[in-house]
Amino acid sequence: MGMLGMITVFTGARPGASTAIDTVSLLVPQGWAVRAWRLLLDGGGAGDVLLTVGVMLAAGILFFAAGILRFRKRYA
């Protein structure tokens, strides 16, 4: 899953890289982190990365809740 999120790092520098690769990488949280990093490197400000940070926070909350539910079920 981590490699799927990082695929734009390896293919993004190619002149003919498609936007489909960018979209596929957003299926995992690592892809959103790379997108935020690239926005900041391209000179974007805090307002430009609010959506990506929001998606990463939402994914973190979702995975944290799923982990809590699994641990409750396992150690109950």
pTM of the model: 0.76
- The C-alpha R_g of the chain, in whole angstroms, comes to 15
Residue 1 pLDDT class (50, 70, 90 cuts): confident
How many residues are there in the chain?
76
Model pLDDT for residues 52-61, shown as the tens digit of each residue: 999 999 999 9
As given in the structure block, the two tokens for residue 29 are 């949280």
List the chain domain ranges: 2-74
Q: Supply the DSSP string of 9-29, one letter for each residue.
A: HHHTTSTT--HHHHHHHTTSH
Model pLDDT for residues 10-34, shown as the tens digit of each residue: 776 566 666 777 788 888 888 899 8
- The answer to whether 29 and 5 are in contact (CB under 8 A) is yes
